[in-house]
């Protein structure tokens, strides 16, 4: 059975370079037999966090929150594709993520970062690692860092040049790591209910 992987992306910018990396991740996960679905923070466009999903009375959460909560609960794992803004995380992605808590528990998460420069968004990836761990996810040790993104992927998300070849070579190990943790978490949930 295909693993259900949600791929989260959070740029609200009109010229979103990171969508190239999202296309690459979705395509390569699909080639491996995973069911990968994009969760685009800009398309969902949640308001700035006022009330978390769990703070609404049962059945009274806005439809977008209710739908997304169900997708998160049903997913086997997550990939967060993040750009770096001034050494930090993208506010759109962080806002979307903060609307939920228990829905994230007991599943693995992976981080894919990018930037227009040579540092490839690694400072945002480092910040995300702590955030996702605090929210109850197991963050895998393998990461993907892409930069400069414009020299690595075409607008269609296809690798180009030497940086693109390096990305293509790095992806299988990253995906294998995520898959191993997804399968481990699935097996543990079947064996024993989470402690809370």
CATH number reported for the structural domain that contains residue 67 in this entry:
3.40.50.360
Residue 157 domain-assigned (yes or no)? yes
Tokens of 113: 């970062």
Residue 28 domain-assigned (yes or no)? yes
Please count the other Cβ atoms lying within 10 Å of the Cβ belonging to residue 129. Answer: 18
Residue 25 domain-assigned (yes or no)? yes
pTM for the full predicted model:
0.96
Rounded distance between C-alpha atoms, residue 139 and residue 137, angstroms: 6
Q: Given pLDDT bands bounded at 50, 70 and 90, which one contains residue 1?
A: confident
Residue 150 domain-assigned (yes or no)? yes
Question: Which among 81, 101, 85 has a CA at the least distance from the CA of 41?
Answer: 81
The SS3 call for residue 164 is helix
CA separation, residue 195 to residues 69, 156, 174, 188, 189 (Å): 20, 43, 29, 12, 10
- What pLDDT shows up at residue 196? 86
Residue 196 domain-assigned (yes or no)? no
Residue 135 domain-assigned (yes or no)? yes
Over range 59-71, report the average pLDDT. 97
Q: Residue 32's domain spans which residues?
A: 4-191
Over range 105-110, report the average pLDDT. 97
Number of domains in the chain: 1
């Amino acid at each position: 059975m295909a693993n259900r992987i949600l791929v989260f992306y959070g740029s609200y910018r009109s010229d979103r370079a990171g969508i190239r990396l999202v296309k690459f991740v979705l395509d390569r996960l699909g080639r491996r037999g995973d069911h990968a679905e994009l969760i685009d923070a800009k398309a969902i466009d949640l308001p700035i966090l006022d009330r978390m999903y769990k703070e609404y009375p049962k059945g009274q959460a806005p439809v977008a929150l209710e739908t997304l909560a169900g997708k998160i609960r049903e997913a086997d794992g997550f990939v967060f594709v993040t750009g770096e803004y001034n050494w930090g995380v993208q506010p759109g992605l962080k806002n979307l993520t903060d609307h939920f808590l228990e829905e994230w528990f007991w599943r693995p998460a992976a981080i894919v970062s990018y930037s227009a420069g040579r540092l490839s968004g690694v400072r945002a990836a480092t910040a995300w690692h702590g955030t996702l761990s605090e929210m109850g996810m197991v963050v895998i040790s393998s990461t993907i860092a892409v930069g400069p993104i414009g020299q690595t992927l075409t607008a269609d998300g296809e690798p180009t040049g030497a940086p693109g070849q390096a990305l293509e070579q790095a992806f299988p190990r990253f995906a294998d790591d995520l898959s191993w943790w997804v399968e481990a978490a699935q097996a543990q949930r079947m064996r024993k209910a989470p402690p809370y």
